């Protein structure tokens, strides 16, 4: 009997083992299976709780192992300035992301979470990262290929910290510089903004030649998912007030604010973030016509739509007045992933209840989850959920800093060069007696980086690793030239020292979003006083550090040379490179420079267009080496005169 039962039991065991092995095969885990098969297989296995968890994005401070597992959280983010530790290293970031990802993978289905961060001008939350010029400066370069290279570098630095997703680029078309987010916009002209969507293939990689329009694409683990924001019309709000109402007809919305989204979608952008603002009184977070009908159905966008930070809360006035209603309106409008950094239990409970009551159809939930899974599968998160630690040395690399320095050089716009047309003062000779460097922004790395740097609102002083404009000047001039720095010198100091030149660096202090809204756009004191004190006594070059045009008309006559440097980031050496003639000025205004705020809003093409400096304006210079090499000077008549005079003097010397 025993001899009969033993083979039978072995056979039964083998059959059970084979059955279990077959049952464990999951199509969604097989990377060889077609994408849609993987999505549908996983969808069939998911409960409502797991689906709603995928739609939920929470702040990293709340992403404990228990929360990730119990709520099946699909995404985690760092808010502005939210870091694992002060001055956290790439390893610190990777350790944190790994812990959160490990918790996500320990759930029943093991769906990886996607971690997102606002890497909007480089990996700007992270200490020692390369901070590139803000978008307004990149718009001044008119160089889409440069912007694409910045996207490649940013992706590597973001991946260096283990993060696969950035909430960038902002493709707003800022129509009023009073808006506190204007520096996040490349230009007032949608054509410039469209051109700068080249950052998307830089971040994500080039889409395959046979790719369908609107399908998200991320090329590999050295690339990141991008996010086009803020959909749509955020740059056109009334009086430039952040989160306000954009009053414009449909033709205006589609012809000014929408074109960059066409390009972003064609280039395979993975996600689109909805704007806090309204269009003709309808909140974009509740606008089903624009989010579902137009973006998803007309434009065929197949990535996922994400809300802004607590964006659905703002559907009501005041925010959060009827949260259940906000969840209903936001999700039904077509928002797929909802950024609920803190009160995620209420969101999950309300959404679950609304689905169970058939207020939100299950088809809407399934659409959202399919889109989220499509991006995750496309990114390769299921195959490679954990960071590649080999990218750690990319953070703040020399190559990336050199690229940022190049971007700074190309972003500088020369608005004035000499009080007389035949007496330019730029470039400044490196070898001279004494140079005075002054102004609140000359020796302040935080100020030259602006908002969205280390902290949400930015900061002052040595907030990260970089080169101030003062240090750049000191390293550029001849060793015999004396550089004296005084932040806000008095008239006696200026007059009693024998300065050959003064470089005055002043501008706006850092801000972000609503905190940057301004009705006067004036340079804060002591900036104006410094300009008047110094420029009244010495040949002066004024360098404006700002996120937009500011009031400069009252001082323009006393200034010898005027440079718009925008918010250049950590590589201040790029400013000195051009001031002293190692490179020429080439930047062009990405937006109109007004005479008075009373003219605003004023954009190129307007009927009563009367700017101080028009859109596209920018004087050009040649590098000092070419200036005295005998090369033809074609781009600036001032230097033509200067070169002719120089040659004439040489001829006279030989005759004598």
Catalytic residue annotation: 308, 513
Contact 404, 569 (CB under 8 A): yes
**DSSP 8-state assignment for residue 393:** G
Torsion of CA 155, 175, 569, 81, to 10 degrees: -70
Among 396, 550, 394, 558, CA closest to 467: 396
- Is residue 392 exposed (0-12), middle (13-18) or buried (19+ Cβ within 10 Å)? middle
Separation CA 379–CA 225 (nearest Å): 7
Contacts of 490 (CB under 8 A, 6+ apart): 533
Total Cβ atoms within 10 A of residue 320: 15
Separation between Cα atoms, residue 123 and residue 94, nearest integer Å: 14
The dihedral through the CA atoms of 602, 605, 606, 611 has a sign that is positive
Q: Are 578 and 585 in contact (CB under 8 A)?
A: yes
Strand order in the sheet with 338-339: 165-166, 114-117, 75-78, 56-59, 338-339
Which single residue is written with the structure tokens 């159809």? 361
β-partners of residue 304 are 271
Report the run of H or E that residue 234 belongs to, with start and end: none
Residue 380 to residues 162, 385, 610: CA-CA distances in angstroms? 14, 8, 52
- C-alpha distances in Å from residue 428, one per residue of 172, 274, 394, 548, 580: 37, 46, 35, 26, 5
Terminus-to-terminus CA distance in the chain, angstroms? 128
Q: Where are the beta strands (DSSP E) in 511-588?
A: 540-545, 561-566
59 Rama class: left (phi>0) / alpha (psi -120 to 50) / beta: beta
In a 3-state reduction of DSSP, which class is residue 434?
strand
């Amino acid at each position: 009997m025993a001899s009969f039962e033993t083979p039978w039991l072995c056979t039964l065991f083998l059959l059970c083992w084979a059955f279990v092995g077959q049952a464990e095969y999951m199509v969604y885990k097989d990377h060889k299976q077609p994408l849609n098969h993987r999505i549908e297989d996983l969808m069939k296995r998911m409960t409502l709780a797991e689906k709603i968890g995928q739609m939920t994005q929470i702040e990293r401070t709340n992403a404990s192992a228990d929360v990730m597992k119990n709520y099946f959280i699909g995404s985690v983010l760092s808010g502005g300035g939210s870091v694992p530790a002060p001055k956290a290293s790439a390893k610190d970031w990777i350790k944190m992301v790994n812990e959160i990802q490990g918790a996500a993978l320990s759930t029943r289905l093991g769906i990886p979470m996607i971690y997102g961060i606002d890497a909007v001008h480089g990996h700007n939350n992270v200490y020692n990262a390369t901070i590139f010029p803000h978008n307004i400066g990149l718009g001044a370069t008119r160089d889409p290929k440069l912007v694409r290279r910045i996207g490649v570098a940013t992706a590597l630095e973001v991946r260096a910290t283990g993060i696969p997703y950035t909430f960038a680029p902002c493709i707003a078309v800022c129509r009023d510089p009073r808006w506190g987010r204007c520096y996040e916009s490349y230009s007032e002209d949608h054509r410039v903004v469209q051109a700068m969507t080249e950052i998307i293939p830089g971040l994500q990689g080039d889409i395959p030649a046979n790719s369908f329009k609107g399908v998200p694409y991320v090329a590999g683990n050295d690339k990141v998912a991008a996010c086009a924001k803020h959909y749509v019309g955020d740059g056109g709000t009334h009086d430039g007030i952040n989160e306000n109402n954009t009053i414009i007809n449909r033709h205006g919305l589609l012809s000014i604010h929408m074109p960059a989204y066409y390009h972003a979608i064609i280039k395979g952008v993975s996600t689109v973030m909805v704007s806090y603002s309204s269009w003709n009184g309808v909140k974009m977070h509740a606008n089903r016509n624009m989010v579902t009908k137009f973006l998803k159905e007309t434009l065929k966008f197949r990535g996922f739509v994400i809300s802004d930070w607590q964006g659905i809360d703002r559907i009501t006035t005041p925010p959060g007045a009827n949260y259940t209603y906000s969840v209903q309106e936001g999700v039904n409008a077509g928002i797929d992933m909802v950024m609920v950094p803190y009160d995620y239990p209420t969101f999950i409970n309300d959404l679950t209840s609304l689905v169970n009551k058939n207020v939100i159809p299950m088809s809407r939930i399934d659409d959202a989850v399919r889109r989220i899974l499509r991006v995750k599968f496309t990114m390769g998160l299921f195959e490679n959920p954990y960071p590649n630690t080999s990218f750690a040395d990319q953070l703040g690399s020399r190559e990336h800093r050199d690229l940022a320095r190049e971007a700074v050089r190309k972003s500088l716009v020369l608005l004035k060069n000499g009080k007389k047309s035949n007496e330019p003062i730029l470039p400044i000779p490196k070898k001279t007696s004494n140079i005075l460097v002054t102004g609140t922004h000359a020796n302040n790395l935080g100020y030259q980086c602006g908002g969205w740097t280390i902290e949400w609102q930015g900061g002052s002083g040595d907030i990260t690793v970089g080169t101030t404009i003062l240090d750049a000047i000191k390293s550029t001039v001849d060793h015999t030239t004396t550089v004296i720095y005084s932040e806000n010198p008095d008239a006696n100091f200026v007059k009693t020292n024998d300065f050959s030149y003064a470089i005055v660096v002043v501008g706006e202090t850092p801000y972000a979003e609503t905190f940057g809204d301004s009705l006067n756009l004036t340079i804060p004191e002591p900036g104006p006083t410094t300009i008047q004190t110094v420029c009244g006594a010495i040949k002066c070059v004024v360098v404006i550090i700002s996120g937009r045009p500011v009031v400069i008309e009252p001082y323009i006559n006393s200034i010898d040379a005027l440079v718009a440097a925008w918010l250049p980031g950590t590589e201040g050496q790029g400013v000195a490179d051009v001031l002293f003639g190692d490179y020429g000025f080439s930047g062009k205004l990405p937006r109109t420079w007004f005479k008075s705020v009373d003219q605003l809003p004023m954009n190129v093409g307007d009927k009563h267009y009367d700017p101080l400096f028009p859109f596209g304006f920018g004087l050009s210079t040649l590098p000092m080496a070419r200036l005295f090499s005998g090369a033809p000077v074609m781009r600036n008549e001032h230097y033509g005169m200067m070169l002719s005079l120089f040659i004439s003097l040489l001829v006279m010397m030989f005759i004598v």
